Amino acid sequence: MCVISEEAIAQFEALMEQVDEALKTTFQNIHQGCTRDAYLRFLTAREGNVANAHKMLVDSLTWRVENEIDDILAKPIIPTELYRAIRDSQLIGMPGYTKEGLPIFAFGAGLSTYDKASVHYYVQSHIQINEYRDRVVLPAASKKNGKHISKSLKVLDMTGLKLSALNQIKLLTIISSIDDLNYPEKVVAYYIVNAPYIFSACWKERTRKKVQVLSGCGQDDLLKIMDYSSLPHFCRREGSGSSRYSGSSNENCYSLDHPFHLQLYDYIKQQALLRRPVRPVKQGSVHVDFPDAVTEGTEFVQTLASEFQKFGKQNGLAQSLDDLNINDHRA
């Protein structure tokens, strides 16, 4: 594990004093009053190299300014029916917190289809969840627990995983690259549950320490770090049945009717009214610049792709990742 020295942090801070005011302004939405934590995250992402970490952060801040990321929480996806369709096909939610106060994010990797809207809508929705986490959820968690909380935990549900999921790998790679380049070191651990086969991939050391493949739905292991009320809905059952939860929608953390998503969507609509109280909110997705190339942070997604292909070859269904296309035919 990379050990970051105080000298490196001081050098990084001195370099950041030289950036222009626009970058300093958007930096505030990243550090939320704790610049040291931001410096540590970017330094860790670049193995302690100050010059590389500084370039990474400046590039990220430039991306934020050019794509108006500071305003993205004032740009609701409308109409509501479209947003609900996105929530039903991009399965992500926040069921609760760990016993240490870290937010828990659940991701339905096996059942997400990403087929109800264009790639731009899905990227917009993902960035909005990131920004809401960093600007609202994490500061509130820090205040409640009386300590600085800047990271979350992810539980990935592989129920329903099929080779057809390969069709979404390029979209997931875009999202993962955005996270790696602009939201580094925000996840303390990944827990994989309901895996249909054993993940045999050799992860890089930094990633391997964060990834744990749990038995079955993972309930017993997860209850060691979170209360039952914070368990994702797909971990609250016996056996390895379908993740399409039959309980009420406010217990299904993916649903727009879940408290987290209701609060998030209401927050975005309220911010839109505050920014534009007279003019109606325009329909249409926010177009955000995508990374030009695969980054280190996409290792997780690329490893999943490798496992999918390995699984396919075992079943005579091999498919090349290079042949896959992003579904982008919708406005």
Measured distance CA(86)–CA(80) in Å, rounded: 10
Q: Give the pLDDT of the chain (331 residues) as one tens digit per residue.
A: 678 999 999 999 999 999 999 999 999 999 999 999 999 999 999 999 999 999 999 999 999 999 999 999 999 999 999 999 999 999 999 999 999 999 999 999 889 999 999 999 999 999 999 999 999 999 999 999 999 999 999 999 988 876 656 667 778 888 999 999 999 999 999 999 998 765 555 555 566 678 898 999 999 999 999 999 999 999 986 544 434 444 556 789 999 999 999 999 999 999 999 987 655 566 677 888 776 555 555 566 666 666 666 655 655 544 444 444 444 444 5
For residue 321, the model assigns a pLDDT of 40
**DSSP class per residue in 288-319:** -PPPSS--GGGHHHHHHHHHHHHHHHHTT---
Task: Report residue 199 as tokens.
Answer: 């993940």
pLDDT at 231: 97
Q: Do the beta carbons of residue 109 and residue 115 sit within 8 Å? A: no
* Backbone phi and psi for residue 212, each to the nearest 5 degrees, phi listed first: -130, 125
Q: What are residue 190's DSSP bridge partners?
A: 154, 211
Beta strand segments in 77-158, E:
92-97, 103-108, 152-157
What is the model's pTM? 0.87
Q: How far is CA 254 from CA 103, 157, 212, 219, 248, in A?
A: 15, 12, 22, 18, 11
H/E segment holding residue 172: helix 169-182
Question: Is residue 212 within a helix (H) or strand (E), and if so which, with residue range?
Answer: strand 211-213
